[in-house]
A and B are shown apart, each in its own frame.
Chain A
Amino acid sequence: MTGVDFDEISCAGVSRHFGRRHAVSRVSFDAPRGTILGLLGPNGAGKSTLLAILATLLRASAGEVRYGRFDASAGPSLRARIGVLGHDLFLYPELTAFENLALFAGLYGVPGRGARARAALDSAGLADRADDPVSSLSRGMRQRVALERALIHAPRLALLDEPFTGLDDASTAALVARLGSLREGGAIVVLATHDLDVAEGLLDHAIFLREGRVVEALARPGGLRSTYRSVMGR
């Protein structure tokens, strides 16, 4: 399934509340193709909620999210162009790494799903563990399989929640290179992370969130850690 395509995503005044609690309040931003946008902020800042809204898993209580000419009502054809790496890994522990990737390749309508799954495992450096159950893999290995699952259908929009969790230095460097190649390939990458050192130099745009609100938005951000300290301390 190829799905609809789009050149940018835009959020205009997006809010989401759960009862009386405002998880996201009037967040606005645009991200064109070939962009890596970082959502930075402490726990409970609304990063994961915003990712869930962008993934069409949650509806915004107010405001609008647009994917080029489309909105979330485009349904399955829009979801075919979105890849999500959640805080949880979205993998079946009883299935092997290969079976997990082949399952999701099939569900996303990727042609030659077996070959695609093998190629993804090669790319993750896990070809020799392809037939091991996911439950037997280390946290870092599972994270790498989960990333391949999120990207198995070459999405236009990649939404990554804490993608560096559990990765060693080599795997982190490989992921940074992978995100760079996604950018070169014209993908829009939105990632929520606490890892400011890794995000430094990687992001094209940074949005600092606190209590669901945008407190700072920077293009080509540098000195993330000092900016973070400064805006969160206001």
Chain B
Amino acid sequence: MLRAIWLILRKDLTVEFRSREIATTTVFFAVSCVLAFAFALVREGQAPEDGAAGILWIAIMFAGNLALGRTFERERQAETLRALMLVPAPRPAVYLGKLAGIVLLLAATEVLLVPLVALLFQAGLLARPFWLVGVVAAGTIGFATVGTLFAAMLVRARSRDVLLPVLLYPVTVPVIIAGVRATAALAQPDVDLGIVQFWLALLVAFDVVFLTLALWTFEPVMTE
């Protein structure tokens, strides 16, 4: 199973390295989104309180939706998802391989996005880097866990581009709330780590619950 996950992940990264299609569109979209909010909200060097946290997570989620759609569109074009369903690895391995690829792609975008948001909104996001990495990683994994399952389910649906955000955003509302609140707490001059821990625990719980559900449902969902 681990070998299949690794092979699928490596394949996704190789394809992306050659085409740079998803990384380019995701990064451009996320940066444009942050720049638009910065020009709209930052007045005379003053950003609205907690604005940075909200805008960071909006950019991550919109960029994530874009990446999810394109990743599975690629698998649909030559029906390669079917080929992956046919290999003798447990089908959840296919899910985990795709999930790992999406998480890595989003992580690469976030490496650029977080300092940009911190700079433009003059937010102290980087004061507690390890906590921030934990919050962003847990939130990204939660979002991608649900998104990968939905994107795979919708790969044959005619209106998949519309249905993916319609299904994904309501289910991932807890990720948005917890991610924004934890990030906002980290951006305060006097960080209350108790608040950060609470929201981080919620994110981890979300990840565990939805990863378990996704692994459980992926095979029956994809067999039809």
Contact = CB atoms under 8 A, between A and B. Distances in A.
Interface string A2-28: 010000000000000000000000000
A88 B88 contact: no
B7 interface: yes
A228 interface: no
Contacts of A80: 88
A106 B7 contact: yes
A58 interface: yes
Contacts, number: 76
B155 to A, nearest CB: 13
Nearest to B12: A92
A108 B88 CA distance: 6
Interface in B55-80: 77-80
Interface of B is mostly: helix
Contacts of B77: 93
Contact of A108 (B8, B11, B79, B87): B87
Interface in A83-117: 84, 86-95, 99, 103-104, 106-109
A32 B134 CA distance: 57
The size bracket of the interface on B is 20 to 34
Q: How large is the interface on A (under 10, 10 to 19, 20 to 34, 35 or more residues)?
A: 20 to 34
A76 B86 contact: no
A154 interface: no
A21 to B, nearest CB: 15
Interface of A: 1, 3, 55-59, 75-77, 79-80, 82, 84, 86-95, 99, 103-104, 106-109, 133, 149
